[in-house]
Structure 1
Amino acid sequence: MMLLEHDAKGLLSGFGIAVPEGALVKNAAEAAALGEGPWIVKAQVPVGGRGKAGGIRRAAGPAEAGEAAGALFGTRLKGHEIRSCRLERPAAGLECYLSLALETASGRVALLASAAGGVDIESVAGDALARADAAYDEKAVLTALRSAVGALPEPARSGILSVAAEVVAAFFARELTLLEINPLFVTPQGRAVAGDAKIVLDLNALPRQAELVGLLSARAADYREANLKLAHGFDFVVLDAEGDVGLVTTGAGLSMQVADELTAMGARPFNFCDLRAGGLKGNPERLVHLLGWIAAAPNVKVTLVNIFAGITHLGEFSTTLLEALDLVPDFRLPIVARLVGHGLEEAREIVAASGRDLAIETDLDVALARTAELARKGA
């Protein structure tokens, strides 16, 4: 889960990394009251590319700051409603780039640095990028980073090295999956200031991260999905508020695959979900919440249930699903259920005996095609 820039900068500041002076505002009046400019007005939404999308504006003084913020509040940027803005003082210097990313497949940390950062970082030539990777070990990553940036020109080299230890410490102390600073402003004297920051949290690490839990809890409206996971023990993310397919799925990778394939068929998945069906243990509470959120979505026409069972027993899951449906009377959507694995035949018998119009498919392609067709017919 991606932190808003304001909170990402707060995290970096806590580790001694310089950030521009700034404040979070929730309305135009608060923006105008911050004092004389100049200010940079930055929409706080969890996506990159805000500048090119019109989410970052300059204001010479208080009146312009209020106008700029007022024009952003309540609008949507890349699918996200703007509920807050960060106003900060402009920073200057050479625009550099620095990132650390956990590669989940290998368990190693990928490092990337450049003396050319900013909004056009994607177009920077490969030979201008310093790359390295290292084992998931703080000392090893710091050593690799220092070595990788050694060939960069000054003052980029000195600037990045001046914050290398702090950046690596933050990455490991908070168990992050991504820490990206772009631009990292570097002055001719080698002083570094984080002009923007993208931080992605590992929600599975939150039980060990009391400070992050406190932040997410205090800002529940901005971090709804994270707080849902903290409260209910599974992942639920709204992908498209106007989506037409609700998903009851388990397994993060498989759930993303299902969402991608439905999109390719012309359907619009409403949500991502990793139900963690093995944790249900016969208790329908998670499913009741999930079905309720899907039922409340304005445009969902059909729900796809996709459970690939290993530890989970499909007979037990089917019983729990039927109990949850009885407890959510507002749920009247057709259901396509793709069930594969342990206890399949028992699941078929339980569903058949229930009398519900709920056909079980074992072929994922068939289930996806049927779901997409029902979404089109319901439009």
Structure 2
Amino acid sequence: MDLLEYQAKELFHQVGIPVLPSQPIAQLSELKHLHIRYPVVLKSQVHSGGRGRAGGIRFVQNTIDAVAAAQAIFSLPILGEYPEVILAEARYDTQEEFFLSILLDYQLQRPVLMGSAKGGIDVETLLKHTQKVVLDQGFSPFYARRLATKMGLKGRLIHGVSTILEKMYQLFIEKDLDLIEINPLAVSASGEVMALDGKITVNDTALSRHLDLLSFLTPKADRPSTVTPQGNIVTTPPQKPRWLGSKDKGGNVGIIGNGSGLTLTTWDLILNQKGKPIGAFIIEEKSSSKSLIKQLGIAIDKILNIAEVEVILINIVSSEQTSDLVAEAMKDYCQPLEVTSDNEEQLSRPTSANSAHQRKVNPNLNSNAVKWVLRLATGDLESRETSFGDLPIHCFEDLNEAVKKTVALISN
């Protein structure tokens, strides 16, 4: 799960990493009650990089300029993603910019500290000057100072940057992160350091241990269209699940997950257990509850058309409310079919996603032969298992257990 900048900075603040005064803006009217003094910078909150070059970061001097700039940013897709939130933040005078990162290297199976004395948006220069320190043993301040020294820092900067690295590692361990990054870490004329931008990737398999982080997945209201400053209406296309097929033949496990990172992690775990995924449908990670259920229905209908699929593993990490809706939808979906008077096979009762009328089911689908494994990271597991009754749905909270069950069903 990748966090947005303002969410990452909330976690930075919790461990004492210095961040500027800021205010998330979801509605233009909130700019009239901004608690930050002008001038400020408005920053589009999307997951992709390159916001500055795309026009997603703007400096404003007053409320009138801020409203116009925010309206333009809300209407600007960056790599296909429209921002739901804009971060208004105080400006900062910088003398130097550094890059700091801690990532989990899966090949080395060790955390790696990385740093560059040339931080900022020039990626080629940043990478050219990047230094790294592999943590062979448990972390100690020595590793942080070693990286600062390898970056070419001197005097007070060694202590300042080392302190930031120590706090980053604290957050890295406490929240089970795959990645924590500050770029740039700005340095003022007085030697003060400040995290101007941040990136955090949470390990999806550990989310059930960090319920506080699930608040970042709270579904947002659907925003079908936005009016640009020129009066044009930009319609956001409806979200659809993306298909990722396997290049290897002989697969028999279908995967559905919300978010690329979560889905790919599920795929890797199945491979590690000697399972054979045939492909996966990826639901948009930040979808609203309504959109998630709709995309789930589309993904299920399409994956059931693949004759080779024997087991479908659905992995959803979201709020408890959304997880309850998913469980209810799956319960309705797996109800036995009945033949109506007009010879159409239908569900005996409507699904949660379509309560106005009964959902017609394609009689050619292999839904009766498929086995279902459902992993929901939040909510009451026992009550869900009870509600499923004799339905062929195996429900889990732990992803590893869900994967083991999926592979076991294939083996049987």
Whole-angstrom CA distance in 2 between matches of 1:27 and 1:116: 36
Is the 2:283–2:296 Cα contact (8 Å) retained in structure 1?
Answer: no
Query: More deviation in 173-182 or 60-69?
Result: 60-69
1:1-379 paired onto structure 2 within 5 Å: 1-34=1-34, 36-93=37-94, 94-124=96-126, 126=128, 128-135=129-136, 137=138, 139-140=139-140, 142-154=141-153, 157-213=158-214, 215-216=215-216, 219-221=218-220, 241-242=239-240, 245=243, 248-249=254-255, 252=264, 255=267, 271=282, 293-295=295-297, 302-303=302-303, 323=334, 326=337, 327=347, 330=359
For each residue in 1:248-307, what CA deviation from the matched residue of structure 2 results, as whole angstroms up to 9, or x when unmatched?
Answer: 417735748xxxxxxxxxxxx86259xxxxxxxxxxxxxxx988534458xx99437575
User: What is the CA-CA distance between 1:324 and the residue it aligns to?
Assistant: 6.2
Aligned residue type for 1:202: N
Partners of 1:32 and 1:64 within 8 A in 2: no
CA distance in structure 2 between the partners assigned to 1:308 and 1:131 by the alignment: 45
Distance 1:325 1:124 in 2: 58
Residue in 2 that maps onto 1:228 = none
Structure 2: give runs of 5+ residues left out of the alignment: 222-237, 246-253, 257-262, 269-279, 285-290, 314-330, 338-346, 352-357, 371-412
- Residues in 2 aligned to 1:301 and 1:210: alpha-carbon distance in whole angstroms: 31
| Distance of 1:246 and 1:154 partners within structure 2 | 45
* Contact 2:144-2:166 within 8 A present in 1 as well: no
Partner Cα distance (1:204, 1:296) in 2:
25
Given that 2:120 and 2:126 are in contact with CA atoms closer than 8 Å, whether structure 1 keeps it comes out as no
> Matched residues in 1 for 2:131 and 2:335: separation?
53
- How big is the alpha-carbon RMSD for the aligned residues of Structure 1 and Structure 2? 4.0
Higher mean C-alpha displacement, 93-102 vs 24-33? 24-33
* 1:12 counterpart SS class: helix
Q: CA deviation at 1:92?
A: 2.7
Tell me if structure 1 keeps the 8 A contact 2:20–2:90: yes
Q: 1:81, CA displacement in angstroms? A: 2.3
Normalising by structure 2, report the TM-score. 0.58
| Aligned counterparts of 1:186 and 1:211: Cα–Cα separation in 2 | 31
- How far the C-alpha of 1:241 sits from its partner, in A, is 2.8
Alpha carbons 2:133, 2:143 under 8 Å: kept: yes
Verify the 8 A CA contact 2:37 2:90 in the aligned structure 1: no
Amino acid corresponding to residue 220 of structure 2 in structure 1: A
| 8 A Cα contact 1:151 1:157, kept in partner | no
Measure the CA separation in 1 of the matches of 2:83 and 2:6.
Answer: 13
Q: In the superposition, relative to structure 1, how do residues 41 and 92 fare at CA in structure 2: closer, same or farther (>3 Å)?
A: same
Moved over 6 A (4+): 333-337
8 Å contact kept, 1:246–1:302: no
**2-structure distance, mates of 1:200, 1:102:** 10
1:99 and 1:112 in contact (8 A); partners too: yes
Cα distance in 1 between the residues matched to 2:162 and 2:69: 36
Normalised by the length of structure 1, the TM-score is 0.62
Match of 1:161, as an amino acid? S
CA 1:87 to 1:154, structure 2 compared with 1: closer, same or farther past 3 Å? same
Letter in 2 for 1:216: F
Using a 3 Å threshold, how does the CA distance of structure 1 residues 146 and 245 change in structure 2: closer, same or farther?
A: same
Q: Kindly state the Cα deviation for residue 63 of structure 1 after the two structures are TM-superposed.
A: 1.4
Q: Where does the alignment leave 5 or more consecutive residues of structure 1 unmatched?
A: 223-239, 257-268, 274-288, 312-319, 341-379
**SS of equivalent residue, structure 2 residue 65:** helix
Deviations 1:198-229 (A, max 9, x none): 0111232223224323x336x4329xxxxxxx
Whether the aligned pair in 2 keeps the contact of 1:102 and 1:178 (CA below 8 Å) is: yes
Which segment drifts farther, 246-255 or 61-70?
246-255
Judge which range, 41-50 or 193-202, deviates more.
41-50
Q: CA shift at 1:11, angstroms?
A: 0.5
Q: Distance in 2 between matches of 1:131 and 1:308?
A: 45
Cα gap change, 1:244/1:48 in structure 2, threshold over 3 Å: closer, same or farther? closer
Task: Give, in angstroms, the shift of residue 100 of structure 1.
Answer: 0.4
Instruction: Name the structure where helix makes up a greater proportion of residues.
Output: 1
The sequence identity of aligned pairs, in percent, is 25
CA distance in 1 between partners of 2:295 and 2:335 (Å): 13
1:18 positional shift? 0.5
Shift of residue 123, structure 1, vs aligned partner = 3.6
Give 3-state SS (helix, strand or coil) of 1:118's partner.
coil
Letter in 1 for 2:143: A
Report the alpha carbon displacement of residue 153 of structure 1 after superposing the two structures with TM: 3.2
Contact 2:46 2:82 in 1 (8 A): yes
